Amino acid sequence: MAQAGLHAAFGYQIQRIVPNERYLCPAVMFGAILPDIDIFLVAIGSIFYPISVSEHIFHRSFSHSLFTIMIVYLVFAIAAEWKKKPALKIIGKGLVLGILSHIILDTFFWFREIQLLWPLPFQPFDIWK
């Protein structure tokens, strides 16, 4: 969570690469911070488990997974088609770009493992090992 500013700044810089669409930049910035929501789950889980166990279960798991990225995009794409609002698809694309940038930054600048393929029973990914 201490890197939230770095993630938001990186998400803001992505606007130079991607096309200028109305809701894209705010969605990318929000998506870049969104995976750190697992910190709140660690706090709630620490009520029931020791903090180390809670951190192992919740931190950098579902919110840093490639499957979560696919689910987020699919939900927004289906909602855009169902509600006939193409802006929802743009928001979904922005969230996915932001979450992906967050995962990339955590992979290279954080020296801990990330469960990229959660919930599959594979070893967590750690580029520094």
Q: What is the mean pLDDT of residues 57-86?
A: 92
Would the pLDDT of 126 be above 80? no
Higher pLDDT, 112 or 75: 75
Spatial CA neighbour of 94 closest among 10, 15, 38, 36: 15
Q: What is the mean pLDDT of residues 108-113?
A: 78
How high is the pLDDT of residue 21?
A: 78
- The label of the residue with tokens 């959660």 reads 118
Spatial CA neighbour of 3 closest among 101, 95, 91, 93: 101
DSSP codes joined into one string, 58-93: HTTSGGG-HHHHHHHHHHHHHHHHHHT-HHHHHHHH
Q: What is the mean pLDDT of residues 98-118?
A: 84
Higher pLDDT, 13 or 51: 51
Higher pLDDT, 82 or 42: 82
Would the pLDDT of 76 be above 90? yes
d(CA 44, CA 49): 9
Spatial CA neighbour of 31 closest among 117, 102, 87: 102
Q: What is the mean pLDDT of residues 5-20?
A: 71
Strand partners, 90: none
How high is the pLDDT of residue 2?
A: 56
28-45 pLDDT, tens digit each: 889 988 998 888 888 898
